[in-house]
Chains A and B, each alone.
Chain A
């Protein structure tokens, strides 16, 4: 089955009892047990809820894993997956992970005796060099947020296998439609389903999928034990989003590509980050491991002042924290998604004060271009202080 068909007809897409075209919302916290000696499939909704279960099965099928898990948010999924580790363990982490992940690792997990080394995972040697006796896992995000650096998943997974390490991949930007890390050798895939999978800026959710059953059992224990589960109503909303994932991404990604190309010709823009541009350093690896480039791009207008002017002048995009929605969203990483990261760490990662992230929605591409044009054209009054005009050579 192709992706679009699988997303609609993979599993659990209708209610087995009534045949209803969508799984009902089981707003129940507990389930009557008919027999003390023969517990039912569901006993308590933290341990299992039929609506949540349908979503968990659906994402497991789409990612090609054995078990899926739905969490209260992407961060809840991430913090739960990290609970697979114990004090004394060491984890190698991609240096430009999502700011919230960075914050969790450096301010919560570090107090629990887990050591983390941040490395540039686009360099496979750097990953291998960071491995030491206590290393237990590698955590990746590719393309990364917000400068879309690409990590070679199969290469890193090969290193991981050699050292018996668990590979976790945050697949939020790609979704299983474009990239299936488990097929490339990863052990756990994580999503902020708040983004493309939900797709409508109307639900906070996280998902995780494990490749094998043993790891699935461990993560299930943690999901139930820590209790950061997704509610029934929210599970239903995420499933609703899944049904249109392919159609939405097709449109948004096409738009993103057109916008990226257009921006890279615009004099007010000093740099564009989009893996679909053949000038992007990660273009080839991306093309070899994913079937698309996604709907997120970033561009640098040179300074905070100029970025502010763009934000003030655009009319269509929502200026907000988040991405992956039907609406085009502009955000300002330095003060939003990566505010939790110290300025010097930000600078190292290319998250400058002039950087703007755009998540393309479903609006007409021409309308978006026109809106961006009127905002950017007005910038010539504001000089670019940094006039190095290089395109995506990171």
Chain B
């Protein structure tokens, strides 16, 4: 995969190199290659009005700072902020807005984001219009005098719909709106929205960035000093910060991001092909497939397709049988880890979206989402195939 070179300490480095070298050379006392975990919450002040640069860990922690710098550099942003979870990152960012502000949001969207918007933030007078962001004209039509931002997921979770980031960011600029992109599915390894005109990038670091299904984390990357200062204020004030041990685990994850993403992607292609050819499957959603409607747009703005594949089986009664028969792939709610997971959006990740909206968007009860891990592709293909076979026998007759 081609990686753009980015500036780092005077030398041009590929993103892979930069990621692997995260934190190296930052620990000057001992030269430790891996940056230490600073558990301290308080920092001794040399005197009144003097500071070492660190005062109190909620405001700034050395381990967290290395992570924050690394993600900012990887996303080509100016400042990074590590939060307790992806939702904490989204919630903190929404603190930028005030009562009566209006935000345009991807119609297909992670269920937790929808829940936060509809069940928490609307109580504070923020309001949201969910639009099909694949259609720039629909976005334009949704803009109101009160609109302050466009919140984009691309590819969307779980239907893998593609938004043209350059076009939407351009439209946002024309109207003085912020473009906020949840880049969880792609990671900066494949897609860097800030380079395409976005203002803020968000991550559930729990997913590919952490990469090992072992840490909950969120990240925010901002562009420009004014926005960075505002988010810095909110990060410290709301206080949903990431602990030092978890920051360190995320740093550890970043070092292998490039390797993992390449493998996730090649495995995803293998699994998608297997699914396409199986009689139990009616549709496959993977932006890497040339027949995917967003394939071209996606290819123009990202350098890869990542490891998330959704698909529909032919009937809902196949679902439990399929899940019960998976032997290698765990039925669990998450994604982006080295282990393959299968999720049933209707009852898990998207359970908080009302059924009629879910169905309208296409997150129906026949939809399954695979987070393809880094196991051997043949083993994954075999597991999916035998579970699909079983779903045809006991789940509902061949139809």
Contact = CB atoms under 8 A, between A and B. Distances in A.
B41 A335 contact: no
Contact of A225 (B83, B119, B206, B245): B119
A113 to B, nearest CB: 4
A78 interface: yes
B42 A87 contact: no
A22 interface: no
A250 to B, nearest CB: 23
Contacts of B86: 227
Given A107-B237, A228-B84, A32 B57 contact: no
The majority secondary structure among interface residues of chain B is loop
Contact of A318 (B44, B120, B218, B233): B44
A104 B42 CA distance: 21
Contacts of A36: 319-320, 323-324, 331, 344, 347
A326 B292 CA distance: 60
A227 B88 contact: yes
Given A30-B341, A103-B237, A320 B124 contact: no
B242 A231 contact: yes
Contacts of A46: 85, 87, 206, 216
A358 B236 CA distance: 24
Contacts of B245: 231, 233-234
The majority secondary structure among interface residues of chain A is loop
A308 B233 CA distance: 28
Contact of B98 (A49, A112, A225): A112
Given A108-B238, A202-B40, A231-B215, A32 B87 contact: no
A211 to B, nearest CB: 22
B125 A113 contact: yes
Interface stretch (A12-20, A68-76, A281-289, A380-388): A68-76
A43 B348 contact: yes
B390 to A, nearest CB: 14
Interface residues on A, range: 35 or more
Interface in B324-351: 324, 330-334, 337, 341, 344, 347-348
Interface string A88-109: 0000000000001001100110
Interface residues of B, number: 70
A11 interface: no
B48 A78 contact: no
Contacts of B39: 202-203, 237
B48 A100 contact: no
Given A44-B334, A75-B238, A231-B246, A320 B42 contact: yes
Interface string B190-220: 0000000000000000100010011110100
Nearest to B45: A319
Contacts of A231: 84, 215-216, 242-243, 245-246
Given A35-B324, A72-B241, A229 B43 contact: no
Nearest to A44: B333
Contacts of B84: 71-72, 76, 227-231
Contact of B58 (A73, A201, A329): A73
Contacts of A307: 48
A107 B237 CA distance: 9
B239 A228 contact: yes
Nearest to A198: B41
A206 B239 CA distance: 9
Contact of B234 (A83, A108, A194, A319): A108
A49 to B, nearest CB: 8
A288 B182 CA distance: 52
A214 interface: no
Interface in B19-73: 39-49, 55-58
Nearest to B100: A113
A104 B238 contact: yes
A28 interface: yes
A29 B210 contact: yes
Interface of B: 39-49, 55-58, 83-88, 90-91, 95, 97-99, 112, 115-116, 119-120, 123-126, 206, 210, 213-216, 218, 233-234, 236-243, 245-246, 249, 319-320, 323-324, 330-334, 337, 341, 344, 347-348
Interface of A: 27-37, 43-46, 49, 71-79, 83, 86-87, 100, 103-104, 107-108, 111-114, 194, 198, 201-204, 206, 221-222, 224-231, 233-234, 237, 304, 307-308, 311-312, 318-322, 325, 329, 332, 335-336
4 closest residue pairs by CB, A with B:
A75-B239, A227-B87, A228-B240, A227-B85
19 contacts: A37-B320, A43-B332, A46-B87, A75-B238, A76-B241, A83-B120, A86-B124, A87-B123, A87-B125, A111-B98, A112-B124, A204-B58, A224-B87, A225-B120, A226-B87, A308-B48, A320-B56, A321-B55, A336-B55
